[in-house]
Amino acid sequence: MKTAFAHWENRIAPVFDTARRICVVESESGRIVRQTQETLPAELPVRKALRLMDLGIGVLVCGAISRPIHGLVAAYGIRVVPFVAGDLQEVIRAWLGGTLECGAFAMPGCFGRKGRRFGGRNENDPEEYAMKPGGRGMGGGRGQGRGQGGGRGQGPGGMRGGRMGGPRASGPAGFCVCPQCGKKEPHERGIPCVERKCPECGTLMARE
């Protein structure tokens, strides 16, 4: 089995969305057979997912990850183990020893493993964010609206009530784009782009 560990300066990268380096560990019966360093593309998120698939990755171990990219990676059959923090080699040893998910390497204030909910939302909804710092959610937390109707909330800890500029930060409008042929289709509310196939070539689409 091949496991990818997203890292930065010998530690697990705090946010997978911007990570460029992964340590790929091929293991058998809890022992490392091969270990290599690989680079992820900086283009569309779907390119990262395709790169992981091309490398034959079965599991991705990472820090915080946005729900759209989490859903995209999972759509390619890759299991995601998010919200991990710590020294890269220590995390690898814990993974091989089966103790990684016991809590010692969990990011402070984050949760979501073993089927628990992310930020109070359904873990399987790929267009919501999968980050919950401070145990109160990001964006979905207790916003304090201003004015009548459309005031933006100020979440706990000084974070804005939006979704950190994610694909849904500007609302339901926008397009789904095919990373292969460039075909664009209007985004349909309630239907994640990562679940739609390009009508031209059949490739899974991504949110523009």
Q: What pLDDT, in 10s, does the model give residues 91-113? A: 999 999 999 877 789 887 654 44
Higher pLDDT, 182 or 58: 58
pLDDT above 70 for 51: yes
Region of 78 (left: φ > 0; alpha: ψ -120 to 50; beta: rest) is: beta
Q: What pLDDT, in 10s, does the model give residues 163-181? A: 434 443 334 567 887 777 7
DSSP E strand stretches across the chain: 2-8, 11-12, 21-28, 31-39, 59-61, 79-81, 175-177, 184-186, 206-207
Give the contacts of 24 (CB within 8 A, at least 6 positions apart): 2, 3, 4, 5, 35, 36, 37, 38, 55, 57
Q: What pLDDT, in 10s, does the model give residues 116-162? A: 333 333 443 433 344 443 333 333 334 444 444 444 444 444 334 44
Q: By the 8 A CB rule, do 62 and 12 touch? A: yes
